[in-house]
Amino acid sequence: MEPISINIHSEIGKLKGVIIHLPGPEVENMTPENAARALYSDILNLAIALPEYNNFVGVLKKYTRVFEVNDLLKDILKNSYVKNEMIQKICHHEKHDQDDVSMMINELDAGVLAKQLIEGVEMRKDNLTRFLDNERFVMHPLPNFFFTRDASFSVGNEVMISRMANGVRERETMIMEAIFTYHPLFKANTINPVSLYDKSKKGTIEGGDVLVARDDIFIIGTGDRTSTQGVDSFIDHMKTKPGVQHIIVQELPYKPESFIHLDMVFTFLDQDKCMIFEPLIINASRYLTIHITVDGDKVVNIKEEKNILVALRSLGMDMEPILCGGNDDQFIMEREQWQSGANFFALEPGKVIGYARNTNTITNLNNHGFEVIRARDIVNNKCKIEDYNKLVITIEGNELSRGGGGARCMTMPVSRQSVEW
């Protein structure tokens, strides 16, 4: 297969390659007792979620190159050096470097090891302590991994490795960093901004909070998952780039959990349109919008803006907002935002994909010229994406959305065509 170069200079350029992860047994290995530890407020039924996800990925495969995390991980683990390095790094992080877990998983072949690093490594009940231990897994499953957006994110020609706010997700970042470092399909320069620049030990940054508006404009949310120190680390890395860079920072509420990332309240749809959760993006005066300008190796200006739209307009990006939940009822807006109603993923300018269950949001898109097409009709060849000028592809997400994310959360783009602004 031909290698692919990292190239992300917008949220909407025609998609050339994307990384996904098919949810599997790691999702079903959650119980009501351990769901909170896995950062879930509910448990998913994989038998229902999987057909929904398959229609989503089926659309992507009709349109672009799709890479699966498990396949990529299996490939690199065939290299004994990479395998040993990953086992050592993961076991050290999860405090298994002084026990026999590393020896146990080192015995596994690449395919089995790849699955277990994601689905969980079961504890061998071979002594009294382990027999009496209530834990099933000695290395916990990664039920959040199908949200591939979070653990790494592409910016320009680089891949940035996240520093997760919760340690239960750090193994995801280690896997993604190894894939981009060692897999021959990717020509990638990996950067870990928090590790490089943060001295406070408080830095966190996750991909759901980082939007590439234009090659010189970045919008970053700060809240429960991305700290101000994490944003500062991103800014410090931007200081190494030539020219003027603009970073627009949006404060987010810590509660409720539907505000987990910026892309739950703001996503790009087209060159002149975006999806917003209006009560926060426009009407929430207590959550600041800060515009930081970097020129060369210095921050040359930092100021408060009225909102993201005003900040973008000042930089030549005049975006028409389409409101999540429709225009009339804040209660409906809040319900649909909770169901990832603002979380859309662009295949190209004006062609996006999101959950069908957010009926008022979909109707609002239709009122703004987006044809509404079901994902399964594209998968079953009843219609073609290229036959439409503007469209919203709807996936059934009644079960998937309970995981706390939408179409943008479930994708990690690696390459897009440039956009003529």
Alpha carbon distance 216, 243 (integer Å): 9
Bridge partner residues of 301 (DSSP): 293
**pTM more than 0.85:** yes
Answer CATH for 4-74+142-416 from 3.40.630.40, 3.40.50.2300, 3.40.50.720, 3.75.10.10: 3.75.10.10
Looking at residue 98, its pLDDT comes to 67
Angle at 139 between CA 135 and CA 145, to 5 degrees: 115
Residues 6+ apart with CB under 8 A from 93: 170, 171, 174
Three-state SS annotation for the chain: CCCEECEECCCCCCEEEEEECCCCHHHHCCCCCCCCCCCCCCCCCHHHHHHHHHHHHHHHHHHCEEEEHHHHHHHHHCCHHHHHHHHHHHHHHCCCCCCCHHHHHHCCCHHHHHHHHHHCEECCCCCHHHHHCCCCEEECCCCCCCCCCCCEEEEECEEEECECCCHHHHHHHHHHHHHHHHCCCEECEEECHHHHHCCCCCCCECHHHEEEEECCEEEEEECCCCCHHHHHHHHHHHCCCCCEEEEEEEECCCCCHHHCCHHHCEEECCCCEEEECHHHHCCCCCCCEEEEEEECCEEEEEEEECCHHHHHHHCCCCCEEEECCCCCCHHHHHHHHHCCCCCCEEEECCEEEEECCCHHHHHHHHHCCCEEEEHHHHHCCCCCHHHCCCEEEEECCCCHHHHCCCCCCCCEEEEECCCCC
pLDDT digits (tens, 9 = 90+) for 243-263: 999 999 999 999 888 899 999
pLDDT digits (tens, 9 = 90+) for 294-343: 999 999 999 999 999 999 999 999 999 999 999 989 999 999 999 999 99
Domain extents for the chain?
4-74+142-416, 75-139
Looking at residue 36, its pLDDT comes to 52
Alpha carbon distance 312, 281 (integer Å): 13
Alpha carbon distance 252, 249 (integer Å): 10
Alpha carbon distance 421, 415 (integer Å): 18
CB of 394 closer than 8 Å to CB of 378: no
Here the tokens at position 71 are: 């396949």
Looking at residue 135, its pLDDT comes to 83
Residues 6+ apart with CB under 8 A from 355: 339, 340, 341, 343, 394, 395, 396, 397, 400, 401, 406, 407
Alpha carbon distance 30, 36 (integer Å): 9
Bridge partner residues of 392 (DSSP): 352, 372
- Kindly give the confidence (pLDDT) of every residue in the chain, 421 residues in length, as a single tens digit, with 9 standing for 90 and above: 899 999 999 999 999 999 999 999 998 876 655 555 545 555 688 899 999 999 999 999 999 999 999 999 999 999 999 999 999 999 999 988 767 888 899 999 999 999 999 999 988 888 888 788 888 888 999 999 999 999 999 999 999 999 999 988 999 999 999 999 999 999 899 999 999 999 999 999 999 999 999 999 999 999 999 999 999 999 999 999 999 999 999 999 998 888 999 999 999 999 999 999 999 999 888 999 999 999 999 999 999 999 999 999 999 999 999 999 999 899 999 999 999 999 999 999 999 999 999 999 999 999 999 999 999 999 999 999 999 999 999 999 888 888 889 999 999 999 999 998 8
